[in-house]
Chain A
Amino acid sequence: MSTHQRFIMKLFEWLLGKSDMNKENKVWTLIFSAWFVAGISTLGSLFFSEIMKLPPCTLCWYQRIFMFPLSLILPLGLFPLDKNVVRYALILSAAGLLIAFFHLLLAAGVIPESIQPCRQGIPCSKTVISWFGFVTIPFLSMLSFLVIVVLLVLTYFQRLK
């Protein structure tokens, strides 16, 4: 077995609760990872708008509304460890995920122009960045929200004494 495979095995064992790592540590690490993703996304989106001066479209703003608070709320659940933070963070990330999904469909042209919510200003269907042909800003947003939602759901199912 390669180290790579061993790592994935270990990760699954850990997530499914077979590892001997203590439960509190595990919950902490899950919330911490969610925060880390939220932090990258927050700073990343600020980089796009403030440094690269790409004006955010309306849908981007709605996604930011749900992403920015995550990077502040999640650390509150880390010190001291408070699993309840999932309740507050999951609702935000789930809403963000829905909007990101909608945005991605719009940008991909699956949803037609006519029901586009933003006709004035910067069109949400305009693609400003495309790395490797599929990594666009709404794609990154959706990916971040998805990872955060998964991590928080996993946290939710961890039982603390």
Chain B
Amino acid sequence: MKQKTLFIVAAVVLVLVFLIGSQTYNRKKAEESAKSIQSNQAYLVRMHSPVLGKDNAPVVIVEFLDPACETCSEFYPHVKQMLSANPDKIKLVLRYAPFHHGSDKVVAALEAARKQGKFWPALEALLKTQHEWAANHTANVDLIWSHLEGLGLNFQKMRLDMLSPEIISIIEQDLSDARALNVTMTPEYFVNGKPLPSFGYQQLVDLVDEAIASAGH
């Protein structure tokens, strides 16, 4: 009887220490990252980034996106829906965080499509067909072309543009900004400079609603 009590108490103590330790650690981490994001606000929005929505919208969502990331493609239609549900209120700024192997080349292709004014249709086509060109967490840029047909893109010009130093430097800039802002996973959202308290669609909706409400006053 005494042994059983000892065992149960020990097990409960172990689990409690773990839970309290996790809480403490997470709180400390959140404070630290909030501080570093606060001091790195300048890295959030760059002139070169693709933007969706009205320029003077009061709510700015900055999304760090990897075209080869599954969760990004799952979130994308929801974010677009949020934009259309709140016309003139939300602006989406896309930043690249091509963490998947080979994904930087796909970003370059998207930037090349942007030069032909077809960025958003190209992005949507690729996100929709992602499983066909990004299997096993590896993006294969050679497989994207068939999915871009019908958008009226000049592929030859795209292939040349993809190698341009301008596009390569955009990707490098975004990656280094992602590092400065502690972005290690995609998608990562910042709503008016504030990161999600924890990852999840509901958290994003709450943060956006809060920003819209405070902008209304």
Contact = CB atoms under 8 A, between A and B. Distances in A.
Interface of A: 28, 32, 36, 39-40, 43, 46-47, 51-53, 75, 78-79
Contacts of A75: 7
Given A51-B21, A52-B25, A78 B3 contact: yes
Interface in B8-26: 10-11, 14-15, 17-18, 21-22, 25-26
Contacts of A51: 21-22, 25-26
A39 B11 contact: yes
Nearest to B23: A51
B21 A47 contact: yes
A79 B25 CA distance: 35
B160 interface: no
29 contacts: A32-B3, A32-B6, A32-B7, A32-B10, A36-B10, A36-B14, A39-B10, A39-B14, A40-B14, A43-B14, A43-B15, A43-B17, A43-B18, A47-B18, A47-B21, A47-B22, A47-B25, A51-B21, A51-B22, A51-B25, A51-B26, A52-B25, A53-B184, A75-B7, A78-B3, A78-B7, A79-B3, A79-B4, A79-B7
A52 B28 CA distance: 11
A-B pairs with lowest CB-CB distance, top 7: A43-B18, A51-B22, A39-B14, A51-B25, A43-B14, A36-B10, A28-B3
A42 to B, nearest CB: 9
Contacts of B7: 32, 75, 78-79
A149 B11 CA distance: 21
Contacts of A52: 25
A52 B25 CA distance: 8
Nearest to A33: B10
Given A28-B3, A32-B7, A39-B11, 18 more contacts: A32-B6, A32-B10, A36-B10, A36-B14, A39-B10, A40-B14, A43-B15, A43-B17, A47-B22, A47-B25, A51-B22, A51-B25, A51-B26, A52-B25, A78-B3, A78-B7, A79-B3, A79-B7
A47 B24 CA distance: 12
Nearest to B26: A51
A41 B196 CA distance: 32
B29 to A, nearest CB: 8
A36 B9 CA distance: 11
Residue of B6, B11, B18, B184 with most partner-chain A CB within 10 A: B18
Nearest to B18: A43
B47 to A, nearest CB: 32
Contacts of B26: 51
Contacts of A53: 184
Nearest to B22: A51
B62 to A, nearest CB: 22
